[in-house]
């Protein structure tokens, strides 16, 4: 099972959804970095939608001494607050549509932990949030800020960050909102749609827009080690992600070459900038100095409150599954910090190559 990601820094997650704890080990972080554990907890509180689903950072086992990184692996445990799982004994026999029950059973010959998804569960993104919170503090001390918001729910759109002139203040204005949108009125419409879906036993997906500001030009490498490559690999560790765009994304298919190209100019500080940002801050896998802009699309959660068809793997006959009693209508709010975390990890892994960064 691929639970280790390695690119300058190494991230390894462990545990299962219904085990006593899940956790993470981060290796190769620069030594001497000040880490505020209260800010980590604040970051991770955004991941929990209620008290029953909020991860609790129980203990940092190693890697931090007197609030400074020591250079040794940073290991943290996150307590599972709800380990009383319903009966999942039928999952290997009756796979739930939209879940990884069927594929996991095939891949691990039926020996995988089936309790609430085991190691493939949504809750396994909580350790990623921890790592992203740590990396985010290191980056923000250098003026690099990453922020995200819910851009769309079921066809209802929020505003967008300005792809050329977005600032740290724009990011912080959204970061700690209970429902992270730029336009509160649009957020209310989204919440009403989510409530209606929940009342009907349905779930909703949507899109999250993420930006990073003050990333210097020249970070990343072409071909296999591009900045987009690294970001994409980490983002696709998140549950239910189905699409990813950088900059103008698929809208470039409707543009001509001159419309898609971003003209260069020199600003008042003597820095080379671009007048527009269809490239999303990355060209040839390397940062251009413009804001890094991306949008990720997420499918609706697979646990729904309506009956669904499946196949009994023992008899090979069709059966009907009853409604899922623990259906969560929309998980986009808790995915917002997860997207930020993935981008933070990717950026720090490339920034370690930047001269005089450490």
Predicted confidence at residue 52, as pLDDT, reads: 46
Which residue in this structure is represented by tokens 């970051």?
43
Alpha carbon 79 to its chain centroid, in Å, reads 20
d(C-alpha 323, C-alpha 98), whole Å: 14
Which H/E stretch holds residue 68? strand 68-69
Tokens encoding 194: 């989510």
125 — phi, psi (to 5°)? -80, -15
Asked if residues 13 and 22 have their Cβ atoms less than 8 Å apart, the reply is yes
Buried b (16+ CB within 10 A) or exposed e, 107-140: ebeeebbbbbbbbbbbbbbbbbbbbbbbbbbbbe
Sign for the pseudo-dihedral over CA of 113, 115, 117, 122: negative
The SS3 call for residue 250 is: helix
Tokens encoding 120: 């493939």
d(C-alpha 18, C-alpha 85), whole Å: 7
Predicted confidence at residue 20, as pLDDT, reads: 74
Predicted confidence at residue 94, as pLDDT, reads: 85
Asked if residues 132 and 138 have their Cβ atoms less than 8 Å apart, the reply is no
Predicted confidence at residue 7, as pLDDT, reads: 92
Predicted confidence at residue 124, as pLDDT, reads: 73
pTM: 0.92
CA dihedral 210, 353, 141, 264 (to 10 degrees): -60
Q: What is the pLDDT of residues 55-96, one digit of tens each?
A: 566 689 999 999 999 999 999 988 776 655 555 566 668 888
- The full set of domains in the chain, from first to last, is 4-351 (3.60.150.10)
Query: Which residue positions in the chain have pLDDT lower than 70?
Result: 1-2, 17-18, 48-58, 81-92, 112-123, 326
The SS3 call for residue 307 is: coil
């Amino acid at each position: 099972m691929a639970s280790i990601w390695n690119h300058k820094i190494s991230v390894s997650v462990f545990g299962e959804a219904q085990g006593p704890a899940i956790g993470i080990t981060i290796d190769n972080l620069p030594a001497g970095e000040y880490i505020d554990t209260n800010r980590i907890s604040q970051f991770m509180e955004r991941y929990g939608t209620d008290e029953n689903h909020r991860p609790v950072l129980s203990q940092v086992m190693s890697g931090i001494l007197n609030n400074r990184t020591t250079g040794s692996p940073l290991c943290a445990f996150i307590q599972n607050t709800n380990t009383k799982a319903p009966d999942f004994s039928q999952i290997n026999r009756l796979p739930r549509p939209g879940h990884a029950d069927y594929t996991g059973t095939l891949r691990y010959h039926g020996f995988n932990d089936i309790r609430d998804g085991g190691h493939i569960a949504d809750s396994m993104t909580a350790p990623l949030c921890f790592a992203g919170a740590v990396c985010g503090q290191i980056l923000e001390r250098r003026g690099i800020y990453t922020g995200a918001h819910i851009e769309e729910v079921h066809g209802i759109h929020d505003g967008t960050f300005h792809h050329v002139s977005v600032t740290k203040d724009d990011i912080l204005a959204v970061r700690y909102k209970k429902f992270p949108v730029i336009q509160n009125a649009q957020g209310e419409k989204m919440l009403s749609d989510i409530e209606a879906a929940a009342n009907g036993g349905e779930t909703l997906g949507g899109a999250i827009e993420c930006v990073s500001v003050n990333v210097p030009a020249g970070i990343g490498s072409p071909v296999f080690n591009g900045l987009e490559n690294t970001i994409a690999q980490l983002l696709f560790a998140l549950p239910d992600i189905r699409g990813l765009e950088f900059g103008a994304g698929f809208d470039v298919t409707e543009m001509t070459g001159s419309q898609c190209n971003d003209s260069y100019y020199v600003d008042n500080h003597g820095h080379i900038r671009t007048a527009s940002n269809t490239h999303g801050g990355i060209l040839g896998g390397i940062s251009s100095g413009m804001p890094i802009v991306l949008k990720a699309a997420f499918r609706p959660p697979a646990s729904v409150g309506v009956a669904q068809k499946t196949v009994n793997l023992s008899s090979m006959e069709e059966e009907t599954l009853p409604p899922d009693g623990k259906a969560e209508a929309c998980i986009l709010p808790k995915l917002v910090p997860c997207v930020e975390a993935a981008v933070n990890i990717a950026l720090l892994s490339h920034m370690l190559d930047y001269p005089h960064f450490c």
